[in-house]
Structure 1
Amino acid sequence: MRSDDELVAKLSVRLTEEIKNLPADGRDHELIVKIKGDYGNINLGTQNFEIHSGKQPPPRGSDRERECPQCGQPAWRYTKHCMHCDYDMHRHDELVAEEEAKIRKSETDRYLLKAFGVFAAIAATSFLIKDYLPESWRSWAIGVTVAAGD
């Protein structure tokens, strides 16, 4: 046998569906609820039913919430469009990821260029000073030149 709470919950869901199907013409519309079947002696009494619109924001502070980059309103984290301004958040995330990848590549290129400059300077310096070093150190200077030049 069903409990009163279960019936109220199912009725709330069904009413929400029916309200979504009403024409959006701004006029009053009547919904008639007929309950068929033998449910025994169930007294629903006076009930308040929660009717939700199709667009509910995520719970505040939850891991499913994010801020829309365009309007700043709370939106669902993994939804394609903002429920408030219809901004394409997936495209925004793609553009942000592309920009971050460009920045990382630029930083990597800059680091490699600096490393190349340091090694080139070491190779050039060791090559230029090899003639002024004692004979026993010249082979080391040539080795450093070759190693830094690779």
Structure 2
Amino acid sequence: MRSGDDELVQKLSERVAEEIESLPRDGKDHEIRIKIKGSHNNVNLGSQTFEVKPGKELPPEGSNRERVCPQCEKPTWRFTQLCMHCDYDHHRHDQIEAEEQDALRKKRNELRLLVVCVASIAIAFGGFSLKIYFPAEYQGWVAGFSALAGFIAFMILQAVR
């Protein structure tokens, strides 16, 4: 949204809320007309039709707009902030769940790095310790490979700090 649109949306929301509150509560269909004159940011706003239904309506069963509330376990709208039954904050729940998933993913990555680091240290130590048992033409390769494994372990330890 552009910077000036927030004020326009706020005024329009307030006006619509006033009109809805003034409707009779007789259970019948009523029509609200709000005329918007002129244009905003070179866009002709024209006329809009909004359908206002009394009470809370459940989302279509099985649609992609439905979700089960984690608190009351009743179906509610997927993209609304609050559950229509118990007012549970879905956005906060989703945020906490995403943070928990990120923390779990970070722990898994740290464990993988630890395994690679321990394996690199074992290869480096084992290579340097056992290079004398290899034929002379391979001892240079074993020493180089061991040094590379030690360097990898060192880099992992530096990255984890």
Cross-structure match for 1:100:
101
Over 3 Å counting, the alpha-carbon distance change for 1:71 and 1:20 in structure 2 is farther
**1:82 alignment partner AA:** C
Larger RCO (CA within 8 A; separation ≥ 6): 1
Task: Tell me the number of residue pairs that the alignment of Structure 1 and Structure 2 aligns.
Answer: 111
Between the aligned partners of 1:58 and 1:20, the Cα distance in structure 2 is 26
* Alpha-carbon offset, residue 22 of structure 1: 4.1
Distance 1:129 1:58 in 2: 69
TM-score, normalising length: structure 2: 0.62
Read off the aligned partner of 2:81 and give its amino acid letter: K
2 CA distance for matches of 1:52 and 1:20? 14
Deviation at 1:135, TM superposition (A): 1.5
User: Counterpart in 1 of 2:121?
Assistant: 120
Partner of 2:81: 80
Q: Deviations over 1:52-73 (max 9, x none)?
A: 4231110000010000010011
- Measure the CA separation in 1 of the matches of 2:24 and 2:68: 31
- The equivalent residue for 1:137 is 138
2:67 counterpart of 1:66: yes
Distance 1:22 1:120, change over 3 A: same
Q: Within 5 Å, which residues of 2 pair with 1:43-54? A: 52-54=53-55
Name the SS of the counterpart of 1:122 in structure 2. helix
* Inter-CA distance 18–135: structure 2 relative to 1 (3 Å threshold): closer
Query: What's the counterpart of residue 11 of structure 1?
Result: none
Question: Could you say which structure has the larger radius of gyration?
Answer: 1
How much has 1:133 moved relative to structure 2?
Answer: 2.1
Percentage of pairs with the same residue: 43
Distance apart, 1:21 and its partner CA: 3.5
TM-score, normalised with respect to structure 1:
0.66
Unaligned runs of 5+ in 2: 1-18, 31-51, 152-161
Maintained 8 Å contact 1:20/1:54: no
| 2:148 match | 147
Determine if contact 1:120/1:148 at 8 Å carries over to the other structure. yes
Gaps of 5+ in 1: 1-16, 24-28, 34-50
How far is the alpha carbon of 1:146 from its aligned partner? 1.1
